[in-house]
A and B are shown apart, each in its own frame.
Chain A
Amino acid sequence: MGSDLILYIVVATALAFDFTNGFHDTANVVATTISTRALPPRVAVTLASLLNFVGAFLSLAVAATIAKDIVDQQLVTTTIVFAGLVGAIVWNLVTWYFGLPSSSSHALIGGVVGAMLVANGTAAVHFDGLAGKVLVPALIAPVLAFAVAGIAILVCYRVVGRLAPGPVSRGYRLGQVLSGGMLALAHGTNDAQKTMGVITLALIANGNLGADASVPTWVVISAATAIALGTYIGGWRIIKTMGSRIIKMDPAQGFAAQGAGAATILAATHFGYPLSTTHVISGGVMGAGAAKRLSAVRWGVAGNIVVAWVLTLPCAALVGGAVYGVTRVFGDGAAGPVVVAAAGLAFSVYMFVRRFQQGAAITTTAAAESTSR
């Protein structure tokens, strides 16, 4: 059995990542609900948090993909998993700092792949699994959500077009409570499992579990709790970008975007694709906006988001690889992970303090907008 101290650090880091995942991705789930005033911000975030917790228990197909299909399980060590997690957390914090809704899933996969490449070379990475289960779905998912939301909003407008706008808006706001709930559930099923997969991978690497072992119950409960807490505390910066900076949405558009997102994520989760909920809901939001009027979408903001998507895998891989290299400088023991974890914690605190010093007004602005409209 390997070093238990490193395993504890890895589990703590994985749960910290899960927390940032919920924190970062809250926006995906609740932004449209808040921006169309379907629910007050705190109620929307609380509901999303609870449904994320429940969703994490519903399926383990994605966790299995993360644990088995992306890298060679035999060559994984706890240090590699740790380096991958740090790469993902750093990328999540950087994109959160700039208010960009990038993919936590791809950051995690990129971090682990980068660390694996530095540790064992290209033979240790299942590039066919990476392409088939991650890259191709990553290309298809936002386009699919864009198309589904675009067609759905046209259908909605066609059906309710001649009715009085007041009752229609109230109806779609009610619908958004349902579609937002399904989206939160879908997010929990898809995203909490990535952390479960990584912790399972670390337990296998450390010799605590056999190669074919299923995900332990304590891993499911702790991952569900971490993502739910992160969701509750919330990423207000990204809520602002998703909810109003891409397009200004009406309740019907919010409903169509959330419905398209939930349908796409649930369908993909069923087949074990670790989809980016960020990509999906961003695609849905853009589709719902573009179908009404192409110029309604702020394509500059959308372009920044797409650039962040493209950069996520390679950047997280670079950080993951670099962290593995730095960790190895301290030898095989726990010293490397301890030093890097301390440095990572200091970096996180620095990012939070700096952001809140510069950007606390964004939360205030979001709240002000939601009450003034």
Chain B
Amino acid sequence: MIAAATKIVDLGQLAQVVEVALVAGIGVSLAFSLVIRGAVRAGEHRRTRPVVAGAHALLAAAGLLVVLAAIVFGVSTMLSK
């Protein structure tokens, strides 16, 4: 039965779709949540603990970079087809 299914469905390709969707969907959500967390915490500590605020701002910037990279990667993947 598995052999018959493999004939009809490209299981390798489907597995790649699942893998890419999981990594991209969850990864971008995590990165964007870190952007929010970093930005909010940086704002809270801006006056009292500037070093901690700077570290959070860095975290937010890194998260934003990941989100933007994911968007660029998504669009360029489409363009390459």
> Do A266 and B14 have beta carbons less than 8 Å apart?
no
Residues in B with CB closer than 8 Å to A189 are 78
Against B, the Cβ 8 Å flags (1 = close, 0 = not) of A122-159 are 00000010011000110010001101110111011001
Q: A171 touches which one: B9, B20, B25, B35 (CB < 8 A)?
A: B35
> Do B17 and A167 have beta carbons less than 8 Å apart?
no
Does any Cβ of A come within 8 Å of B34's Cβ? yes
Against B, the Cβ 8 Å flags (1 = close, 0 = not) of A150-175 are 01110110011001100110011001
- Highest count of chain B CB atoms <10 Å: which of A131, A149, A263: A263
Q: Which residue of A lies closest to B36 (CB)?
A: A171
> Do B74 and A172 have beta carbons less than 8 Å apart?
no
**How many residues on chain A are close to B (CB under 8 Å)?**
49
Q: Which residue of A lies closest to B16 (CB)?
A: A271
Does any Cβ of B come within 8 Å of A109's Cβ? no
Does any Cβ of B come within 8 Å of A182's Cβ? yes
Q: Which residue of B lies closest to A148 (CB)?
A: B25
Residues in A with CB closer than 8 Å to B47 are none
Q: How far is the CB of A30 from chain B (nearest CB, A)?
A: 18
Interface of B is mostly: helix
Residues in A with CB closer than 8 Å to B78 are 55, 58-59, 185, 189, 266, 269-270
Does any Cβ of A come within 8 Å of B81's Cβ? yes
> Do B25 and A61 have beta carbons less than 8 Å apart?
no
> Do A270 and B81 have beta carbons less than 8 Å apart?
yes
Against A, the Cβ 8 Å flags (1 = close, 0 = not) of B20-38 are 1110111011101111110
If A140-B14, A255-B29 touch, does A59 touch B9 (CB 8 Å cutoff)? no
Q: How far is the CB of B46 from chain A (nearest CB, A)?
A: 13
**Separation of A189 and B80 alpha carbons in the complex (Å):** 12
Q: How far is the CB of B11 from chain A (nearest CB, A)?
A: 9
How many A-B contacts if CB must be within 8 Å?
134
**Separation of A133 and B59 alpha carbons in the complex (Å):** 41
Q: A185 touches which one: B9, B20, B75 (CB < 8 A)?
A: B75
**Separation of A179 and B28 alpha carbons in the complex (Å):** 10
**Separation of A256 and B26 alpha carbons in the complex (Å):** 8
Residues in B with CB closer than 8 Å to A55 are 78
Q: How far is the CB of A177 from chain B (nearest CB, A)?
A: 12
> Do A263 and B67 have beta carbons less than 8 Å apart?
no
**Separation of A269 and B77 alpha carbons in the complex (Å):** 10
If A159-B37, A266-B78 touch, does A255 touch B21 (CB 8 Å cutoff)? no
> Do B14 and A152 have beta carbons less than 8 Å apart?
no
Does any Cβ of A come within 8 Å of B13's Cβ? yes
Q: How far is the CB of B74 from chain A (nearest CB, A)?
A: 5
**Separation of A151 and B30 alpha carbons in the complex (Å):** 10
> Do A167 and B40 have beta carbons less than 8 Å apart?
yes
**Separation of A107 and B52 alpha carbons in the complex (Å):** 55
Does any Cβ of A come within 8 Å of B2's Cβ? no
Does any Cβ of B come within 8 Å of A309's Cβ? no
Q: Which B residues fall within an 8 A CB radius of A?
A: 7-10, 13-14, 16-18, 20-22, 24-26, 28-30, 32-37, 39-41, 43, 67, 71, 74-75, 77-79, 81
Given A131-B9, A267-B16, A270-B17, 5 other A-B contacts at CB below 8 A? A58-B75, A58-B81, A128-B7, A148-B21, A263-B74
5 contacts between A and B (CB under 8 A): A136-B8, A144-B18, A148-B25, A152-B29, A263-B21
